[in-house]
Amino acid sequence: MTSAIKEQLRGSRLFAGFDEELLEEIATAVSLKRVTKGEMIFYEKDPAFAFFIVYEGKVKVFKLSPEGKEQILLIANPGESFAEAALFGSGHFPASSQALADSSLIVVHQDKFVQLVDKKPVIALKLVVRMAELLHKLNRLVEELSLTDITTRLAHYLTDEVEKSSYEKPLTVTLAEKKTVLASQLGTIPETLSRSFAKLTKDNVIKVDGSVIEILDLDRLYEIAGE
Partner DNA sequence: CGGAACGTTGACATATATCAAAGGGAGTGG
Partner DNA sequence: CCACTCCCTTTGATATATGTCAACGTTCCG
Where along the sequence are the contacts to DNA (CB under 7 A)? 67, 69, 149-151, 178-180, 187-195, 197-198, 208, 210-211
Choosing from 32, 101, 142, 176, the residue that interacts with a copy of itself (CB under 8 A) is 142
**30/114 Cα distance (integer angstroms):** 12
16 binds, among a copy of itself, DNA, none (CB under 5 to 8 A by kind): none
Q: How far is the CB of 61 from a copy of itself (least distance, A)?
A: 9
Taking CB under 8 A as the rule, does residue 133 contact a copy of itself? Answer: yes
Taking CB under 8 A as the rule, does residue 49 contact a copy of itself? Answer: no
| Three-state SS at 29 | coil
**7/2 Cα distance (integer angstroms):** 9
Cα-trace Rg, the chain:
19
Whether 224 contacts 215, CB under 8 Å: no
90 binds, among DNA, a copy of itself, none (CB under 5 to 8 A by kind): a copy of itself
Q: Which stretch binds a copy of itself (CB under 8 A): 21-29, 123-131, 163-171, 194-202?
A: 123-131
Q: Which is nearer to DNA, 168 or 227 (CB)?
A: 227
Strand partners, 35: 103
Q: How far is the CB of 173 from DNA (least distance, A)?
A: 14
Q: Which is nearer to a copy of itself, 57 or 187 (CB)?
A: 187
Q: Which stretch binds a copy of itself (CB under 8 A): 6-14, 20-28, 101-109, 117-125?
A: 117-125
Choosing from 76, 127, 193, 225, the residue that interacts with a copy of itself (CB under 8 A) is 127
**49/85 Cα distance (integer angstroms):** 12
Whether 51 contacts 82, CB under 8 Å: yes
189: phi > 0 → left, psi -120 to 50 → alpha, else beta; which? beta
Choosing from 16, 32, 40, 64, the residue that interacts with a copy of itself (CB under 8 A) is 64
Q: Please count the other Cβ atoms lying within 10 Å of the Cβ belonging to residue 161.
A: 16
Whether 144 contacts 159, CB under 8 Å: no
From the number of C-beta atoms within 10 Å of its C-beta (0-12, 13-18, 19+), residue 154 rates as buried
The continuous run of DSSP H or E covering 44 comes out as none
Q: Which stretch binds a copy of itself (CB under 8 A): 17-25, 89-97, 104-112, 174-182?
A: 89-97
Binding site for a copy of itself (CB under 8 A): 63-66, 69, 71, 73, 84-90, 94-95, 117-118, 121-122, 124-125, 127-129, 131-136, 138-143, 145-148, 187, 226
